[in-house]
Structure 1
Protein backbone atom coordinates (compact mmCIF):
# COMPACT_ATOMS: atom_id res chain seq x y z
CA UNK A 1 0.00 0.00 0.00
CA UNK A 2 2.99 2.31 0.32
CA UNK A 3 3.02 2.99 -3.45
CA UNK A 4 -0.61 4.17 -3.24
CA UNK A 5 0.28 6.74 -0.59
CA UNK A 6 3.31 7.87 -2.58
CA UNK A 7 1.14 8.10 -5.69
CA UNK A 8 -1.41 10.18 -3.79
CA UNK A 9 1.34 12.54 -2.69
CA UNK A 10 2.62 12.95 -6.25
CA UNK A 11 -0.94 13.49 -7.52
CA UNK A 12 -1.46 16.27 -4.96
CA UNK A 13 1.81 17.94 -5.95
CA UNK A 14 0.98 17.74 -9.66
CA UNK A 15 -2.55 19.07 -9.15
CA UNK A 16 -1.46 21.99 -6.97
CA UNK A 17 1.36 22.99 -9.34
CA UNK A 18 -0.82 22.80 -12.45
CA UNK A 19 -3.67 24.72 -10.81
CA UNK A 20 -1.20 27.40 -9.67
CA UNK A 21 0.46 27.63 -13.08
CA UNK A 22 -2.90 28.16 -14.77
CA UNK A 23 -3.51 31.25 -12.67
CA UNK A 24 -0.65 32.84 -14.63
CA UNK A 25 -1.21 31.13 -17.99
CA UNK A 26 -4.90 32.07 -18.26
CA UNK A 27 -4.58 35.84 -18.55
CA UNK A 28 -8.12 35.93 -19.93
CA UNK A 29 -9.56 34.97 -16.52
CA UNK A 30 -9.59 37.03 -13.33
CA UNK A 31 -8.22 34.60 -10.74
CA UNK A 32 -9.96 36.38 -7.86
CA UNK A 33 -13.43 36.06 -9.40
CA UNK A 34 -13.18 32.93 -11.54
CA UNK A 35 -13.63 29.52 -9.88
CA UNK A 36 -11.26 26.77 -10.94
CA UNK A 37 -14.00 24.96 -12.88
CA UNK A 38 -13.86 27.57 -15.64
CA UNK A 39 -10.17 26.79 -16.20
CA UNK A 40 -11.29 23.35 -17.43
CA UNK A 41 -12.72 25.05 -20.53
CA UNK A 42 -10.55 26.70 -23.17
CA UNK A 43 -6.76 26.96 -23.38
CA UNK A 44 -4.92 24.42 -21.18
CA UNK A 45 -8.27 22.88 -20.16
CA UNK A 46 -7.11 19.32 -20.94
CA UNK A 47 -4.05 19.88 -18.73
CA UNK A 48 -6.27 20.72 -15.77
CA UNK A 49 -8.60 17.84 -16.62
CA UNK A 50 -5.60 15.53 -16.42
CA UNK A 51 -4.63 17.04 -13.08
CA UNK A 52 -8.18 16.45 -11.78
CA UNK A 53 -7.95 12.85 -13.00
CA UNK A 54 -4.65 12.33 -11.19
CA UNK A 55 -6.04 13.83 -8.00
CA UNK A 56 -9.15 11.66 -8.22
CA UNK A 57 -6.92 8.56 -8.34
CA UNK A 58 -4.82 10.04 -5.54
CA UNK A 59 -7.89 10.43 -3.30
CA UNK A 60 -8.82 6.79 -3.81
CA UNK A 61 -5.22 5.71 -3.22
CA UNK A 62 -4.95 7.76 -0.06
CA UNK A 63 -8.21 6.34 1.27
CA UNK A 64 -7.06 2.77 0.64
CA UNK A 65 -3.55 3.24 2.02
CA UNK A 66 -4.76 5.12 5.11
CA UNK A 67 -7.24 2.34 5.80
CA UNK A 68 -4.67 -0.44 5.40
CA UNK A 69 -1.94 1.35 7.35
CA UNK A 70 -4.12 1.90 10.42
CA UNK A 71 -4.22 -0.43 13.38
CA UNK A 72 -7.07 -2.96 12.87
CA UNK A 73 -9.05 -1.74 15.88
CA UNK A 74 -8.82 1.90 14.69
CA UNK A 75 -9.89 1.29 11.09
CA UNK A 76 -13.18 2.45 9.64
CA UNK A 77 -14.52 1.94 6.15
CA UNK A 78 -16.33 5.29 6.27
CA UNK A 79 -13.35 7.53 5.39
CA UNK A 80 -12.25 5.06 2.72
CA UNK A 81 -15.69 5.08 1.09
CA UNK A 82 -15.90 8.87 1.26
CA UNK A 83 -12.45 9.25 -0.34
CA UNK A 84 -13.56 6.88 -3.12
CA UNK A 85 -16.82 8.82 -3.70
CA UNK A 86 -14.86 12.09 -3.66
CA UNK A 87 -12.42 10.70 -6.23
CA UNK A 88 -15.21 9.55 -8.55
CA UNK A 89 -17.06 12.86 -8.14
CA UNK A 90 -13.86 14.78 -8.93
CA UNK A 91 -13.34 12.81 -12.14
CA UNK A 92 -16.94 13.58 -13.16
CA UNK A 93 -16.35 17.25 -12.33
CA UNK A 94 -13.42 17.31 -14.74
CA UNK A 95 -15.35 15.68 -17.58
CA UNK A 96 -18.69 17.50 -17.31
CA UNK A 97 -18.29 20.97 -18.80
CA UNK A 98 -19.57 23.92 -16.80
CA UNK A 99 -21.25 26.83 -18.63
CA UNK A 100 -19.81 30.30 -18.18
CA UNK A 101 -21.90 32.86 -16.28
CA UNK A 102 -24.66 34.29 -18.43
CA UNK A 103 -25.01 31.11 -20.50
CA UNK A 104 -27.93 28.74 -20.11
CA UNK A 105 -27.49 25.90 -17.63
CA UNK A 106 -27.02 22.61 -19.45
CA UNK A 107 -27.33 19.04 -18.20
CA UNK A 108 -23.53 18.84 -18.24
CA UNK A 109 -23.35 22.01 -16.17
CA UNK A 110 -25.81 20.62 -13.64
CA UNK A 111 -23.84 17.36 -13.40
CA UNK A 112 -20.61 19.34 -13.03
CA UNK A 113 -22.01 21.45 -10.19
CA UNK A 114 -23.44 18.48 -8.29
CA UNK A 115 -20.25 16.46 -8.75
CA UNK A 116 -18.07 19.35 -7.56
CA UNK A 117 -20.20 19.86 -4.44
CA UNK A 118 -20.13 16.12 -3.76
CA UNK A 119 -16.34 16.03 -4.10
CA UNK A 120 -15.86 18.96 -1.73
CA UNK A 121 -18.25 17.63 0.90
CA UNK A 122 -17.08 14.02 0.74
CA UNK A 123 -13.37 14.79 0.86
CA UNK A 124 -13.63 17.18 3.81
CA UNK A 125 -15.80 14.75 5.80
CA UNK A 126 -13.40 11.92 4.90
CA UNK A 127 -10.52 14.04 6.19
CA UNK A 128 -12.32 14.63 9.49
CA UNK A 129 -13.23 10.98 9.96
CA UNK A 130 -9.79 9.65 9.00
CA UNK A 131 -8.06 12.04 11.38
CA UNK A 132 -10.55 11.19 14.15
CA UNK A 133 -9.75 7.47 13.80
CA UNK A 134 -6.09 8.23 14.44
CA UNK A 135 -6.76 9.30 18.02
CA UNK A 136 -7.08 5.58 18.90
CA UNK A 137 -4.24 4.35 16.66
CA UNK A 138 -0.86 3.88 18.40
CA UNK A 139 0.96 4.32 15.09
CA UNK A 140 -0.74 7.62 14.24
CA UNK A 141 -1.84 9.04 17.59
CA UNK A 142 1.00 11.57 17.51
CA UNK A 143 -0.43 12.84 14.16
CA UNK A 144 -4.01 13.12 15.43
CA UNK A 145 -4.02 16.76 16.59
CA UNK A 146 -2.38 18.17 13.46
CA UNK A 147 -4.50 16.03 11.13
CA UNK A 148 -7.79 16.62 12.92
CA UNK A 149 -7.52 20.35 13.51
CA UNK A 150 -6.21 20.82 9.97
CA UNK A 151 -9.26 18.93 8.68
CA UNK A 152 -11.58 21.01 10.89
CA UNK A 153 -10.02 24.19 9.47
CA UNK A 154 -10.56 22.94 5.89
CA UNK A 155 -14.16 21.97 6.67
CA UNK A 156 -14.90 25.38 8.19
CA UNK A 157 -13.16 27.17 5.31
CA UNK A 158 -15.37 25.29 2.85
CA UNK A 159 -18.53 26.44 4.66
CA UNK A 160 -17.29 30.01 4.86
CA UNK A 161 -16.79 29.90 1.08
CA UNK A 162 -20.31 28.46 0.60
CA UNK A 163 -22.15 30.76 3.01
CA UNK A 164 -20.32 34.10 2.75
CA UNK A 165 -21.34 35.15 -0.73
CA UNK A 166 -19.56 38.53 -0.58
CA UNK A 167 -16.14 36.89 -0.82
CA UNK A 168 -14.45 36.88 -4.24
CA UNK A 169 -15.72 33.51 -5.53
CA UNK A 170 -12.52 32.53 -7.32
CA UNK A 171 -10.09 33.47 -4.59
CA UNK A 172 -12.13 31.92 -1.78
CA UNK A 173 -12.69 28.67 -3.68
CA UNK A 174 -9.03 28.39 -4.61
CA UNK A 175 -8.00 29.06 -1.01
CA UNK A 176 -10.20 26.15 0.10
CA UNK A 177 -8.77 23.92 -2.64
CA UNK A 178 -5.23 24.85 -1.61
CA UNK A 179 -5.93 24.09 2.06
CA UNK A 180 -7.45 20.71 1.20
CA UNK A 181 -4.61 19.92 -1.20
CA UNK A 182 -1.96 20.75 1.38
CA UNK A 183 -3.73 18.59 4.00
CA UNK A 184 -3.88 15.69 1.54
CA UNK A 185 -0.24 16.18 0.61
CA UNK A 186 0.89 16.19 4.24
CA UNK A 187 -1.23 13.22 5.32
CA UNK A 188 -0.30 11.09 2.31
CA UNK A 189 3.33 11.68 3.28
CA UNK A 190 2.63 10.47 6.82
CA UNK A 191 0.77 7.40 5.60
CA UNK A 192 3.49 6.62 3.05
CA UNK A 193 6.17 6.59 5.74
CA UNK A 194 4.26 4.26 8.04
CA UNK A 195 5.72 0.75 8.10
CA UNK A 196 2.33 -0.88 7.49
CA UNK A 197 1.34 1.32 4.53
Structure 2
Protein backbone atom coordinates (compact mmCIF):
# COMPACT_ATOMS: atom_id res chain seq x y z
CA UNK A 1 0.00 0.00 0.00
CA UNK A 2 1.19 3.59 -0.58
CA UNK A 3 2.68 5.53 2.31
CA UNK A 4 0.47 8.31 3.64
CA UNK A 5 2.08 11.70 4.27
CA UNK A 6 -0.19 12.33 7.26
CA UNK A 7 1.50 9.98 9.72
CA UNK A 8 5.12 10.92 8.93
CA UNK A 9 4.19 14.60 9.23
CA UNK A 10 2.44 13.96 12.54
CA UNK A 11 5.39 11.94 13.80
CA UNK A 12 7.84 14.69 12.85
CA UNK A 13 5.66 17.24 14.66
CA UNK A 14 5.66 15.10 17.83
CA UNK A 15 9.41 14.57 17.61
CA UNK A 16 10.00 18.30 17.07
CA UNK A 17 7.82 19.14 20.08
CA UNK A 18 9.81 16.76 22.26
CA UNK A 19 13.18 18.14 21.10
CA UNK A 20 12.13 21.76 21.57
CA UNK A 21 10.70 21.05 25.01
CA UNK A 22 13.83 19.17 26.12
CA UNK A 23 16.13 21.97 24.94
CA UNK A 24 13.91 24.66 26.46
CA UNK A 25 13.82 22.88 29.83
CA UNK A 26 17.62 22.85 29.97
CA UNK A 27 17.57 26.63 29.51
CA UNK A 28 14.66 27.23 31.88
CA UNK A 29 16.08 25.05 34.68
CA UNK A 30 19.70 26.27 35.10
CA UNK A 31 19.75 24.94 38.68
CA UNK A 32 19.87 21.39 37.31
CA UNK A 33 23.26 20.11 36.17
CA UNK A 34 22.72 18.85 32.57
CA UNK A 35 25.58 16.33 32.89
CA UNK A 36 24.38 14.64 36.06
CA UNK A 37 20.63 15.39 36.10
CA UNK A 38 18.46 12.74 34.45
CA UNK A 39 15.55 13.80 32.26
CA UNK A 40 13.18 12.60 34.96
CA UNK A 41 14.26 15.49 37.22
CA UNK A 42 13.03 17.97 34.61
CA UNK A 43 9.53 16.50 34.95
CA UNK A 44 9.37 17.70 38.55
CA UNK A 45 8.93 21.35 39.44
CA UNK A 46 8.60 24.43 37.22
CA UNK A 47 7.85 23.74 33.56
CA UNK A 48 7.44 20.03 34.26
CA UNK A 49 4.05 19.87 32.47
CA UNK A 50 5.77 21.03 29.27
CA UNK A 51 8.03 17.99 29.26
CA UNK A 52 5.15 15.72 30.29
CA UNK A 53 3.19 16.85 27.23
CA UNK A 54 6.29 16.35 25.08
CA UNK A 55 6.67 12.77 26.35
CA UNK A 56 3.08 12.02 25.40
CA UNK A 57 3.57 13.63 21.98
CA UNK A 58 6.68 11.51 21.38
CA UNK A 59 4.75 8.39 22.43
CA UNK A 60 1.96 9.16 19.96
CA UNK A 61 4.50 9.95 17.24
CA UNK A 62 6.29 6.62 17.41
CA UNK A 63 3.08 4.60 17.65
CA UNK A 64 1.59 6.40 14.65
CA UNK A 65 4.79 5.92 12.70
CA UNK A 66 4.92 2.20 13.45
CA UNK A 67 1.25 1.77 12.56
CA UNK A 68 1.69 3.47 9.18
CA UNK A 69 4.89 1.52 8.48
CA UNK A 70 2.98 -1.72 9.02
CA UNK A 71 -0.06 -0.57 7.05
CA UNK A 72 1.98 0.47 4.01
CA UNK A 73 4.41 -2.47 4.04
CA UNK A 74 4.17 -5.27 1.45
CA UNK A 75 2.94 -8.60 2.89
CA UNK A 76 6.46 -10.06 2.98
CA UNK A 77 7.69 -7.37 5.38
CA UNK A 78 4.52 -6.83 7.41
CA UNK A 79 4.63 -7.73 11.10
CA UNK A 80 2.72 -6.69 14.20
CA UNK A 81 5.78 -7.19 16.44
CA UNK A 82 7.39 -3.75 15.89
CA UNK A 83 4.02 -2.04 16.35
CA UNK A 84 3.44 -3.93 19.60
CA UNK A 85 6.86 -2.91 20.93
CA UNK A 86 6.26 0.74 20.07
CA UNK A 87 2.81 0.68 21.67
CA UNK A 88 4.26 -0.79 24.88
CA UNK A 89 7.12 1.69 24.75
CA UNK A 90 4.70 4.59 24.26
CA UNK A 91 2.49 3.48 27.15
CA UNK A 92 5.52 3.14 29.43
CA UNK A 93 6.85 6.56 28.37
CA UNK A 94 3.50 8.24 29.05
CA UNK A 95 3.27 6.66 32.51
CA UNK A 96 6.87 7.69 33.21
CA UNK A 97 5.94 11.29 32.46
CA UNK A 98 3.29 11.42 35.19
CA UNK A 99 4.74 9.06 37.83
CA UNK A 100 7.52 11.08 39.42
CA UNK A 101 10.85 9.58 40.38
CA UNK A 102 11.96 9.52 44.02
CA UNK A 103 14.20 12.48 44.72
CA UNK A 104 17.63 11.82 46.29
CA UNK A 105 17.44 11.50 50.06
CA UNK A 106 13.70 10.77 50.06
CA UNK A 107 12.22 7.44 51.16
CA UNK A 108 11.30 5.10 48.34
CA UNK A 109 7.66 5.28 47.24
CA UNK A 110 5.33 3.23 45.09
CA UNK A 111 5.18 6.11 42.60
CA UNK A 112 8.97 6.15 42.38
CA UNK A 113 9.03 2.39 41.83
CA UNK A 114 6.43 2.72 39.05
CA UNK A 115 8.50 5.48 37.45
CA UNK A 116 11.63 3.35 37.49
CA UNK A 117 9.91 0.29 36.01
CA UNK A 118 8.14 2.20 33.25
CA UNK A 119 11.25 4.24 32.39
CA UNK A 120 13.24 1.05 31.87
CA UNK A 121 10.30 -0.44 29.98
CA UNK A 122 10.15 2.59 27.68
CA UNK A 123 13.82 2.20 26.78
CA UNK A 124 13.65 -1.58 26.37
CA UNK A 125 10.41 -1.80 24.38
CA UNK A 126 11.25 1.16 22.14
CA UNK A 127 14.76 0.02 21.22
CA UNK A 128 13.47 -3.51 20.62
CA UNK A 129 10.89 -1.94 18.33
CA UNK A 130 13.65 -0.12 16.44
CA UNK A 131 15.52 -3.36 15.81
CA UNK A 132 12.41 -5.32 14.78
CA UNK A 133 11.22 -2.52 12.51
CA UNK A 134 14.62 -2.24 10.82
CA UNK A 135 14.69 -6.00 10.27
CA UNK A 136 11.28 -5.88 8.58
CA UNK A 137 12.32 -2.95 6.37
CA UNK A 138 15.00 -5.12 4.74
CA UNK A 139 12.19 -7.04 3.00
CA UNK A 140 10.68 -3.90 1.47
CA UNK A 141 12.35 -2.82 -1.82
CA UNK A 142 11.59 0.82 -1.01
CA UNK A 143 13.66 0.61 2.21
CA UNK A 144 16.59 -1.70 1.42
CA UNK A 145 19.13 1.07 1.02
CA UNK A 146 18.01 2.79 4.23
CA UNK A 147 17.83 -0.51 6.14
CA UNK A 148 21.57 -0.94 5.66
CA UNK A 149 22.20 1.84 8.15
CA UNK A 150 18.92 1.90 10.08
CA UNK A 151 19.51 -1.65 11.35
CA UNK A 152 23.02 -1.15 12.83
CA UNK A 153 21.83 2.18 14.24
CA UNK A 154 18.89 0.43 15.94
CA UNK A 155 21.18 -2.31 17.29
CA UNK A 156 23.50 0.37 18.67
CA UNK A 157 20.56 2.02 20.47
CA UNK A 158 19.54 -1.34 21.94
CA UNK A 159 23.10 -1.99 23.11
CA UNK A 160 23.40 1.52 24.53
CA UNK A 161 20.56 1.00 27.00
CA UNK A 162 22.38 -2.01 28.45
CA UNK A 163 25.60 -0.02 28.72
CA UNK A 164 23.59 2.68 30.49
CA UNK A 165 22.07 0.13 32.87
CA UNK A 166 25.27 -1.76 33.66
CA UNK A 167 27.94 0.95 33.63
CA UNK A 168 26.96 2.85 36.75
CA UNK A 169 30.04 5.11 36.69
CA UNK A 170 28.82 6.94 33.59
CA UNK A 171 27.48 10.48 34.19
CA UNK A 172 23.82 9.50 34.41
CA UNK A 173 22.28 12.60 32.91
CA UNK A 174 24.57 12.97 29.91
CA UNK A 175 24.67 9.25 29.10
CA UNK A 176 20.88 8.96 29.27
CA UNK A 177 20.40 12.00 27.05
CA UNK A 178 22.80 10.64 24.43
CA UNK A 179 20.77 7.42 24.26
CA UNK A 180 17.49 9.34 24.06
CA UNK A 181 18.89 11.56 21.29
CA UNK A 182 20.00 8.49 19.32
CA UNK A 183 16.53 6.95 19.55
CA UNK A 184 14.75 10.19 18.62
CA UNK A 185 17.07 10.78 15.65
CA UNK A 186 16.37 7.22 14.41
CA UNK A 187 12.64 7.89 14.55
CA UNK A 188 13.12 11.22 12.76
CA UNK A 189 15.20 9.56 10.00
CA UNK A 190 12.49 6.97 9.42
CA UNK A 191 9.79 9.67 9.41
CA UNK A 192 11.68 11.73 6.84
CA UNK A 193 12.10 8.79 4.48
CA UNK A 194 8.42 7.85 4.85
CA UNK A 195 7.51 11.41 3.95
CA UNK A 196 9.72 11.21 0.86
CA UNK A 197 8.01 7.97 -0.17
CA UNK A 198 4.60 9.58 0.26
CA UNK A 199 5.59 12.53 -1.92
CA UNK A 200 6.76 10.17 -4.65
CA UNK A 201 3.32 8.60 -4.60
**TM superposition score normalised by structure 2:** 0.93
CA deviation after TM superposition for structure 1 residue 134, in Å: 1.2
**Corresponding residue for residue 55 of structure 1:** 58
Pick aligned residue for 1:44 from 47, 68, 83: 47
- Contact 1:157/1:176 (<8 A) preserved: yes
CA deviation after TM superposition for structure 1 residue 66, in Å: 1.2
* Structure 2 unaligned residues grouped into runs of 5+: none
Verify: 1:123 aligned to 2:126, yes or no.
yes
Secondary structure of 1:30's aligned partner: coil
CA deviation after TM superposition for structure 1 residue 192, in Å: 2.7
Pick aligned residue for 2:154 from 137, 151, 155: 151
Verify: 1:140 aligned to 2:166, yes or no.
no
Q: 1-side partners of 2:7 and 2:108: how far apart?
A: 37
**Corresponding residue for residue 197 of structure 2:** 194
Verify: 1:171 aligned to 2:148, yes or no.
no
Q: 2-side partners of 1:184 and 1:20: how far apart?
A: 18
CA deviation after TM superposition for structure 1 residue 190, in Å: 1.4
Secondary structure of 1:136's aligned partner: coil
Tell me the C-alpha RMSD between the 2 structures: 1.4
Matched ranges for 1:22-37 at <5 A: 22-37=25-40
Deviations 1:71-121 (A, max 9, x none): 121111000111111111111011111121111111111111111111100
Pick aligned residue for 2:80 from 77, 88, 107: 77
Q: 1-side partners of 2:157 and 2:12: how far apart?
A: 18
Verify: 1:67 aligned to 2:70, yes or no.
yes
Secondary structure of 2:138's aligned partner: helix
Pick aligned residue for 1:17 from 20, 34, 54: 20
**TM superposition score normalised by structure 1:** 0.95
CA deviation after TM superposition for structure 1 residue 69, in Å: 2.0
Moved over 4 A (4+): none
- Contact 1:69/1:194 (<8 A) preserved: no
